[in-house]
Amino acid sequence: MAGDFTRDPAALPRAMELLTASYTAWQAELHAYGVLRRRAKQLGYRVPHPSAPNPNRPSHWYGAPREAALHAVWVWYSQGASEDVDVQSLAVALIERGRFTEAQREIFDRVLAEPGASRAIVRQMAVVIANS
């Protein structure tokens, strides 16, 4: 996103801008979460639901969630982290085209319902799709 620091001296300030924007977005999310949690606690909901989003444990990089998730899919795929053929073919589709065909979307919906051992990468695929 920012460029190669060794070849492009202007890449470092761009990287700092991206990091600052990401940090600012995360801080805004933390503030909003704090407001919601305080109100929920006042209403008697002491513990948030385990599946509720929690910015204290971010699931993505706030500066570019789609790009970060796509990179995670690429890293996972390049390491051969799953033996599930459907998940592997979906990873290739995202890496090559950045999106799914209608048929691949149906496969993804099925895999998403029962991700098995590939839960983490399927979650990252969902981030890519949601931010397309």
Residues 12 and 39 reside in one and the same domain: yes
Rg of the Cα trace of the chain? 18
Residue 114, domain extent? 65-130
Do 89 and 46 sit in the same domain of this protein? Answer: no
Residue 54 tokens, joined: 């929690």
Question: Is residue 60 in a domain?
Answer: no
**70 and 45, same domain (yes or no):** no
> How confident is the model over 37-67, as pLDDT tens digits?
999 999 999 998 877 788 888 766 777 778 8
pLDDT digits (tens, 9 = 90+) for 68-123: 888 888 888 888 877 888 888 999 998 898 889 999 999 999 888 887 888 888 88
Q: Are 50 and 92 within one domain?
A: no
pTM of the model: 0.57
91 found inside a domain: yes
Asked if 81 and 104 sit in the same domain, the reply is: yes
Looking at the domain assignment, is residue 77 inside a domain?
Answer: yes
Three-class SS of residue 14?
A: helix
Query: Number of structural domains, the chain?
Result: 2
pLDDT reported for residue 63: 72
Give the ranges where the chain is alpha helix by DSSP (H): 11-42, 65-78, 85-97, 102-113, 119-130
